[in-house]
Every structure is written in structure tokens, then in C-alpha cells.
Amino acid sequence: MICVSVGNVSVGECISRLKGLDFAEVRLDTMDADPAAVKRIFSLPLRLIATCRPGSHTDAQRHELLVSAIGAGTSFVDIETEADPQFREAVIGAAREHRTQVILSYHNYRTTPHRRILRRTVADAFLSGAHIAKIACMVRRPADNLRLLELPGIRTYAGRIVVVGMGQAGRITRVASVFLGSPFTYASCGGDAPLAPGQISAGPLRAAMELIGHE
């Protein structure tokens, strides 16, 4: 399954781009959206992930936007594993109240850590309340891809680990991961600029998966 990332657009453009999609991630950190606009987006009858990465908003603002998305009916809310514990628990608490699935995501924009660290990060995510653990790391060499692609095969968490190899060298993980047990993979929207290093456009990614026989 492909999740299309939508961001760097206005609220109106976001809603327009979501039409016709089955599954999408909305990057609220790249948009100028207030809680009312967030409710418009996440009230759409689609399978959506609400994401608001740190940097452009305070934790208080991020909390308000994510909780608004949860209240409006988002299917998933994505929170960083490295987020402030109080912030993380508050969002997870709101998700539990609305039976929203929680994605706890780990990002390393420098390197892909040792296998032991990756597995501990996955285990910690589930202990913290994740329904899905997302591991996204910068890939520098082929062995990095192998360490990432091992993770979806952990039987204890079957079908609940999404892996992303960032950068040009990690693009293979965006196709291969779904064949190895990841519930979905991320793609950019149409001709939009990628929202993550190495992200592939949805059309070519779908064609590659169909060629191999996944979709």
C-alpha cells in the first residue's frame, strides 16, 4: 500500500490533492493551517495520517493541530520517538480517547544505526504505545538498506513496522519494504518536490510495485 505525502501547499490545494487518493499523510508542519482548517482536512472520508514535525511550530501549536486532527477523525497520528515525553503522552492520550492509531517515528538524517540500536528503538516505540513503528534513516551504503529491511521481519511486530531508507541510496527500501512486511510505504504527490530525501513520486513507485507483482 502506498501512502502519498502531501505538504508545502495551501489548505485548499491540500484538499484538492487529497481527492482521488486512498491513503495520504498530511504534513501540517509545512502548511499554514489553523485548527479549523485541520478539521476540514481530516473530516474528509479518507484514510489519513496527521503529521506535524518539529521546527516550524512550538510543541503547544503542534499539540493543538494534532489533537484537532484526531478529533476530526484522522486514521493515524504520527509522533516522533524523540519528542518531549509530556507532549508525546498528551497526544497519545487524545488518540486513545478517539481510538486513533498511533505511529511513533524515529528519524536519523545522518546515518543508519547499528542493528541493536534499531531493534531497541522499535521495541521502545511499541512499549510507548505505538500501533505502528516507523524507522527512517539516511542510507550511506548497501549494508544500511539490509539493516532496515530486516526490521519488518521481526515476528513479534509482524505487519507493524514501516522502514524508510532516506537518500538516493535508500530508494530501494521504498519498494522492497512492502514485500518484506511493511504495511505501507511513502511516496510524493504527483510532480511535487519530495518531502523527504529520496522519496519517489507515487506514479513510478506504483508502477515498480505492479511490475514486481505487489499491487
d(CA 129, CA 85): 12
What is the percentage of the chain residues whose pLDDT exceeds 70?
Answer: 99
Contact between 62 and 52 under an 8 Å Cβ cutoff? The reply is yes
Helix, strand, coil fractions of the chain, as percent rounded to 5: 45, 20, 35
Catalytic residues: 107, 134
User: pLDDT tens-digit profile of 28-59?
Assistant: 999 999 999 999 999 999 999 999 999 889 99
> pTM for the whole thing?
0.94
d(CA 59, CA 136): 22
β-strand partners of 6: 26
Contact between 171 and 187 under an 8 Å Cβ cutoff? The reply is no
User: pLDDT tens-digit profile of 140-173?
Assistant: 999 999 999 999 999 999 999 999 999 999 999 9
CA 157 to chain centroid, in Å, comes to 17
All domains of the chain, ordered by start, with CATH? 2-212 (3.20.20.70)
